[in-house]
Amino acid sequence: MVRFLQLHLLTFYPPANLNRDDTGRPKSAVVGGEPRLRVSSQALKRAWRTSDIFRTALDGHMGSRTQRMGEEIVRHLISRGVASETALKVTREIVPLFGKIKAEQDSTRTEQLAFISPAEKQAACELAERLAAGEKIKVEASAILQRTDTAADIAMFGRMLADNAEFNREAAVQVAHAITTHRVIVEDDYYTAVDDLKKPSEDAGAGFVGEAAFGSGVFYLYACIDRALLTRNLGGDSALADIAIGALIEAAATVSPRGKQNSFAALGRAHYILAEAGNAQPRTLAGAFARPVVGEGLMAPSIVALRDFRTKMGAAYGASCDGEAEMNVLEGTGSLASLLAFARGLAPANA
């Protein structure tokens, strides 16, 4: 099996605020001594994981990241005719398997978010039913939590259960923060909102005045998929692993983070994608942009910089992959379909 599949994407976004910091401004980073826009890996992964692409491709194989599993169990028990007091008592016996319960009285929420697969949710509800029926059962993690996944997103992005570390999952997909390939200064939009019911006899001022920060640029995104670990996390289900990889590639190419989309409609798609497959140690090509790209359009010189840096890295360290596929919208070469076919072709014929 080819172990690693590396993805390098260049995507242009018009004025937008895709991923905000604590002040509401677009996230940023200083790279090569110059300010860049940034989109965090957390924002990217959530946008992909909650996309229609993932829901359709991985229907029945998606986990839930939540503090509210206890509330789900309580609702399940009450729907089965269990008294609310009993449902609460039973649920509070089970929820600590997912994390420490909040201190509030009668709370069933955990302090941390827990990533829970459909099979684990079902097992928790079934155990709760048995406890509510009066069975004397020792509540143990092994009765609910699993060491391999039926949820592809948990297998891809991993999870941490602080109190049950043996059921943690090492992420099979590593996603970098996306950064602009060039220098960017965040701008501010001064805007007003008019009160539709204000009478002409009143003052002519706006009902609300505000500012919204935004920026635009070509973003470089790097992701690395450990196919062997993904298949192992999925209990050897290579067919599901291939479906998950296909969904990830399509989502990375076509799904945008949701920040301020109603205000900016910055629904971008990758202009350039390079997929590399092999068993050599993975490496990012972000170094291509340590010196900010300049030039007309920024996308074309970004592609040139990426290709040139990759060639020089190959000359210094040797071949980094055994096979590759490329899509370049500007040149009219390659396609998303060809990239997906390339990824499918990496699986053994009998997988």
Q: Are 204 and 252 in contact (CB under 8 A)?
A: no
pLDDT score of 350: 39
Report the C-alpha gap between 347 and 238 in whole angstroms. Answer: 8
Q: How far apart, in whole angstroms, are the C-alpha atoms of residue 238 and residue 232?
A: 9
- In terms of phi and psi (left: phi > 0; alpha: psi -120 to 50; beta: otherwise), the region of 158 is left
Q: What pTM did the predictor assign? A: 0.91
Which residues is 20 bridged to in the sheet?
26
Determine the pLDDT at residue 349.
45
Q: Which of 14, 6, 124 has the alpha carbon at shortest distance from 74?
A: 124
- The single-letter code of the amino acid at 132 is A
DSSP notation for 187-250: EEEEEEE--TT--TTS----SEEEEEEEEEEEEEEEEEEEHHHHHHHTTT-HHHHHHHHHHHHH
- For 173, the token pair is 């997909």
Q: What pLDDT digit, counting tens, does each position of 108-158 carry?
A: 999 999 999 999 999 999 999 999 999 898 898 998 998 888 899 999 999
Are 95 and 110 contacting, i.e. CB atoms less than 8 angstroms apart?
yes
Q: Which of 8, 7, 11 is nearest to 267 (CA)?
A: 11
pLDDT digits (tens, 9 = 90+) for 154-192: 999 999 988 888 999 999 999 999 999 999 999 998 887
> Residues 71, 76, 81, CA angle at the centre, nearest 5°?
125
How long a stretch of residues is the chain?
351
DSSP-derived 3-state class of residue 272: strand
Instruction: In whole angstroms, give the CA distance from residue 244 to residue 153.
Output: 8
Judge residue 131's burial from the number of C-beta atoms within 10 Å of its C-beta, 0-12 exposed, 13-18 middle, 19 or more buried.
buried
pLDDT of amino acid 202: 75
**240, 305 in Cβ contact below 8 A?**
no
- From residue 332, alpha-carbon distances to 6, 96, 272, 275 in Å are 22, 54, 10, 17
Which residue ranges in the chain fall short of pLDDT 70? 347-351
Single-letter code of the amino acid located at 55: R
Q: How far apart are alpha carbons 304 and 179 in whole angstroms?
A: 17
Asked if 17 and 213 touch (Cβ cutoff 8 Å), the reply is: yes
pLDDT of residue 348: 56
Is the torsion defined by CA of 319, 324, 327, 333 positive or negative? positive
Do residues 270 and 253 make contact, with C-beta atoms less than 8 angstroms apart?
yes
Which pLDDT value is given to residue 173?
98
